[in-house]
Amino acid sequence: MAMEHWLIYLVAAFGLSLTPGPNGLLALTHGMRFGLRRSVATLLGGVAGFLLLIAVSMAGLGALLAASEQAFTIAKWLGAAYLVYLGIRTWRAPVTAPVRAENLPDSGGRREGPAALFLQGFLVATSNPKALIFFAAFLPQFMVPGVSLPLQFVILGGTFAVVEFLYELVLAGAAQRIAPWLYRHGRMVNRAAGATFIGIGGVLATANRAV
What pTM, to 2 d.p., does this model score? 0.66
pLDDT in tens, 34-55: 888 989 999 999 999 999 989 8
**What's the pLDDT band for 211 if we cut at 50, 70, 90?**
very low
Which residues, at least 6 apart from 131, have a Cβ–Cβ distance to it below 8 Å? 21, 50, 53, 125
Residue 3 has pLDDT above 90, yes or no: no
Are 150 and 59 in contact, with CB atoms under 8 Å apart?
no
pLDDT in tens, 61-118: 666 655 666 766 776 677 678 768 867 876 887 765 555 544 444 444 455 788 999 9
Q: Poorest-confidence range of 19-23, 26-30, 154-158?
A: 19-23
Q: What is the pLDDT at residue 15? A: 79
Alpha carbon separation from 31 to 44, 131, 148, 173, 176 (Å, rounded) = 14, 23, 38, 6, 8
Read off the pLDDT of each residue in 167-189 and give the average, rounded to a whole number.
Answer: 77
Alpha carbon separation from 12 to 8, 149, 197 (Å, rounded) = 6, 20, 7
Residue 144 has pLDDT above 50, yes or no: yes
> Helix 69-92 crosses helix 186-206 at what angle (to 10 degrees)?
160
